């Protein structure tokens, strides 16, 4: 299914949208003890809920590297070294990164040449970085401060079940 690339409902107050997405995530993960199952459903939920994106998924830290986890989108990079690219930098610094133009990010790893902007949010388990949520967009400057705050809340909701 091809996603239409436009900015409908992107501007304005998105807090209600993110509150609804977080509530849906809590509902579909309630009582599910399987991390990969919850990550798979979380990526599908975001893929269905967010407009103007072309990839959404997770990288999990294994053996000191980020390893591809559940995702929605085209074939992706399978291993990303810590500190490399947007994902590795966000994981190593334990901070959300919003990149309006990935082509201007030093060391960007281009898995899909159609991606122009990106947001990466670290996830935690037992107080340590466990992995990252990664979302790409073919639009430049796709991710707003509201998206950043909403996706950080989404990850907090997810951290309860991973």
In a domain, 9, yes or no: no
Does 7 score more than 80 pLDDT?
no
59-106 pLDDT, tens digit each: 999 999 999 999 999 999 999 999 999 999 999 999 999 999 999 998
State the total domains in the chain: 1
In a domain, 8, yes or no: no
In a domain, 6, yes or no: no
User: What pTM was computed for the model?
Assistant: 0.91
Instruction: Please tell me the distance from the alpha carbon of residue 47 to that of residue 57, in angstroms, as a whole number.
Output: 9
Q: How confident is the model at residue 13 (pLDDT cuts 50, 70, 90)?
A: low
The residue range of the domain holding 108 is 15-159
Instruction: Please tell me the distance from the alpha carbon of residue 103 to that of residue 25, in angstroms, as a whole number.
Output: 32
Q: What is the CATH number of the domain that holds 55?
A: 3.30.450.40
In a domain, 120, yes or no: yes
Instruction: Please tell me the distance from the alpha carbon of residue 103 to that of residue 113, in angstroms, as a whole number.
Output: 10
pLDDT at 112: 81
Does 6 score more than 90 pLDDT?
no
In a domain, 87, yes or no: yes
In a domain, 2, yes or no: no
In a domain, 3, yes or no: no
In a domain, 4, yes or no: no
43-63 pLDDT, tens digit each: 999 999 999 999 999 999 999
């Amino acid at each position: 299914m091809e996603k239409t690339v436009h900015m409908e409902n992107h501007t304005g107050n998105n807090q209600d949208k993110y509150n609804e997405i977080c509530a849906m995530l809590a509902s579909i993960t309630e009582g599910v003890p399987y991390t990969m199952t919850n990550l798979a459903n979380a990526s599908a939920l975001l893929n269905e809920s967010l407009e103007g994106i072309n990839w959404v998924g997770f990288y999990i830290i294994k053996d000191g590297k980020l390893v591809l986890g559940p995702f929605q989108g085209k074939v992706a990079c399978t291993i990303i070294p810590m500190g490399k690219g947007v994902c590795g930098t966000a994981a190593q610094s334990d901070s959300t990164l919003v990149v309006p133009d990935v082509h201007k990010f030093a060391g960007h790893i281009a898995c899909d040449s159609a991606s122009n902007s990106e947001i990466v949010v670290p996830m935690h388990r037992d107080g340590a970085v466990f992995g990252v949520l990664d979302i790409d967009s073919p639009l430049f400057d796709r991710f707003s401060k509201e998206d950043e705050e909403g996706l950080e809340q989404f990850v907090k909701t997810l951290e309860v079940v991973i």
